[in-house]
Amino acid sequence: MKAITHRLATIEDYEFLLEVKKQAEGEALFGWDDDVQRRIHQFAVRRAPYRR
């Protein structure tokens, strides 16, 4: 069995993480407006300790 590890996200992970958010939250909470969600996600990325 492979051990699970973690690392800081990189900017290359951006689209993947946005898709995970969309699949997890999407329509279930309040609908999905791609432009609004991208702005929210971009704000979070700027504040997070990502590796650049």
* More confident call, 28 vs 14: 14
Amino acid at 5: T
Residue 5 in tokens: 């590890």
Please provide the average confidence, as pLDDT, over all residues in the chain: 82
Name, in order, each residue with C-beta under 8 angstroms of 17's C-beta and a sequence gap of 6 or more: 9, 41
Indicate the range of 6-10, 28-32, 33-37 predicted with least confidence: 28-32
Q: What does the CA dihedral 17, 20, 22, 23 come to, rounded to 10 degrees?
A: 170
**26 pLDDT band (50/70/90 cuts)?**
confident
Instruction: Give the pLDDT score at 19.
Output: 92
17 pLDDT above the threshold of 70: yes
Instruction: Give the pLDDT score at 16.
Output: 92
